[in-house]
Structure 1
Amino acid sequence: MSKNIQIASPALYQEVAARLRERIYTQDLKPGDAIDEQALAAEYGISRTPMREALKVLHAERLVVLEPRRGCFVAELKEQDIDELFPLMALLEGRCAYEAVKKAKPADIRRVEELHKKLEKYAAANDVDKYFEQNCLCHELVQKLAGNYWLERVINDLRKFLKLLRGRQLQLPGRLQESLSEHRMLLAAFQNRNPAAAEKIMHDHLVNQHAALIIFDREKKNKAV
């Protein structure tokens, strides 16, 4: 005799963590910002207990930093973090592109083409924010088409840190068009069913993002002096 098994809904603190995570990714809560636990709890109409539990989750993910006697702050990627993260992501996403092209069916390639059309649209409008969001969707689709659980697991864990940067390298003059050109080459690799080319293009795409970010941050610091 089978029993009815009730599936528990997500705990309140998990829902709160998801909302805060999204606010961090969209930079409604910016890197380095202090998180007012009491104000946020009041805003969401909850007690401070689920808010604290949510912040513990984000702290475990390294999206926020809990400092004794100082409070909670949105995490900031240091220069060393960035220098270590991008080359690793270049290797992983390059492999993703290789496997995605190797396994892609005609319908999959059409999906890549449809997403790419929106990249072209936002680049033409010089809409950096929309381009960044669409760029993320393109990378996530390549990852999904790769169909490699282990790659997906590792990349998902690391990608959340790249999202903290909010694609600020795209603000460097000329970088948006360079990025679009790289995506055009990636699309061609899909259409030509060339996994090796796709791997190199995606790898170099991440390396170029890193280089552009270094230049952008250096110029920003120089202007601030």
Structure 2
Amino acid sequence: MAISNTTTAPLSLHEDVAVRLRELIYSGELPPGAFVDEPALCERLAISRTPLREALKVLTAEGLMRHEPRRGCFVNQVTERDLDEIFPVIALLEGRCAFEAASRVNDADLRVLDGMHQRLRDCAAAGQIAAYYEANHVIHEAIIQLADNRWLAQVIADLRKILRLSRQQSLQVPGRLEQSLSEHMAVFAALQARDNCGAEAAMRTHLLRQREALRELSRQQPRSLMP
């Protein structure tokens, strides 16, 4: 499956509300542990209670919210234990994506990936952290698309939503930017060689080292995550 742009069907009202709520969560306007004030949100989003409550059910199922009987909904919190449990799983899943992508990648795909990795190198050289994160995300998405396995893609997307709750950035750790770039280039080299096992191992290493960097960041900033 070649790397390409995809279009999506129009969202229903409650799906659109769910998207807007995720944006509020990821931007920090609804921080971890925050109580969801339904009347205030209805007024802010200019919607009725019904689509809001349907959206809250969606986010609760995704793990972004939790519902407490007789109290209401709260934004979930990600703990160190959560990160310890999630990263090995997502490393396995994205590793498998890299394995499958190495079987399917063609020369045209590699040219597209080469441009993406050049962008990654440029961002790293300039020390542009935010742009590097974006370029990194684009590469991960391209590899998932190349794997062409909707079940892997779906589970990875769900886990990524949870990981974003931590609001920690591993590239804040000294030396991590250069390490991350090296890891990405190892994945790309394996894809160029159509080396399934090499691509899988390199991607797993990349994700697990990201967890190590976050653990180091947590030690430096012990209050950045809830216990």
Normalised TM-score (structure 1)? 0.86
Query: How many Å apart are 1:98 and its aligned residue?
Result: 1.2
The CA distance in 1 between the partners of 2:127 and 2:108, in whole Å, is: 29
Q: How does 1:181-200 map to 2 (within 5 A)?
A: 181-200=182-201
Structure number with greater CO (CA < 8 Å, separation at least 6) is 2
The residue that corresponds to 1:202 in the other structure is 203
Q: In 1, are the aligned partners of 2:218 and 2:224 still within 8 Å (CA)?
A: no
Q: In 2, are the aligned partners of 1:86 and 1:207 still within 8 Å (CA)?
A: yes
Query: How many Å apart are 1:86 and its aligned residue?
Result: 0.5
SS at match of 2:47: coil
The residue that corresponds to 1:60 in the other structure is 61
Query: How many Å apart are 1:58 and its aligned residue?
Result: 0.6
The CA distance in 2 between the partners of 1:27 and 1:135, in whole Å, is: 22
The residue that corresponds to 2:175 in the other structure is 174
The CA distance in 2 between the partners of 1:9 and 1:151, in whole Å, is: 23
| Counterpart amino acid of residue 125 in structure 1 | A
| Counterpart amino acid of residue 97 in structure 1 | A
The CA distance in 2 between the partners of 1:67 and 1:223, in whole Å, is: 24
CA 45–120 in structure 1, closer or farther in 2 if over 3 Å, else same = same
Query: How many Å apart are 1:166 and its aligned residue?
Result: 4.2
The CA distance in 1 between the partners of 2:161 and 2:148, in whole Å, is: 19
The residue that corresponds to 1:92 in the other structure is 93
Name stretches of at least 5 consecutive residues in structure 1 with no aligned partner.
Answer: 1-7
The CA distance in 2 between the partners of 1:40 and 1:142, in whole Å, is: 37
The CA distance in 2 between the partners of 1:32 and 1:127, in whole Å, is: 31
What fraction of aligned residue pairs are identical, expressed as a percent?
49
| Counterpart amino acid of residue 149 in structure 1 | R
Normalised TM-score (structure 2)? 0.85
Q: In 1, are the aligned partners of 2:17 and 2:52 still within 8 Å (CA)?
A: yes
SS at match of 2:74: strand
| Counterpart amino acid of residue 164 in structure 1 | L
User: Please, what is the CA RMSD of the aligned residues?
Assistant: 2.3
Query: How many Å apart are 1:89 and its aligned residue?
Result: 1.1
Query: How many Å apart are 1:187 and its aligned residue?
Result: 1.6
1:74 aligned onto 2:81? no
SS at match of 1:221: coil
Could you say which structure has the larger radius of gyration?
A: 1
Q: In 2, are the aligned partners of 1:132 and 1:166 still within 8 Å (CA)?
A: no
Query: How many Å apart are 1:143 and its aligned residue?
Result: 0.8
The CA deviation string for residues 85-125 of structure 1, in whole angstroms up to 9 with x for no partner, is 11111111111111101210111112212222222232233
The CA distance in 2 between the partners of 1:197 and 1:109, in whole Å, is: 16
Q: In 2, are the aligned partners of 1:65 and 1:72 still within 8 Å (CA)?
A: yes
CA 52–150 in structure 1, closer or farther in 2 if over 3 Å, else same = closer
Query: How many Å apart are 1:9 and its aligned residue?
Result: 6.0
CA 160–223 in structure 1, closer or farther in 2 if over 3 Å, else same = closer
The CA distance in 1 between the partners of 2:29 and 2:49, in whole Å, is: 21
The CA distance in 1 between the partners of 2:122 and 2:173, in whole Å, is: 19
The residue that corresponds to 2:3 in the other structure is none
1:142 aligned onto 2:143? yes
CA 136–33 in structure 1, closer or farther in 2 if over 3 Å, else same = farther
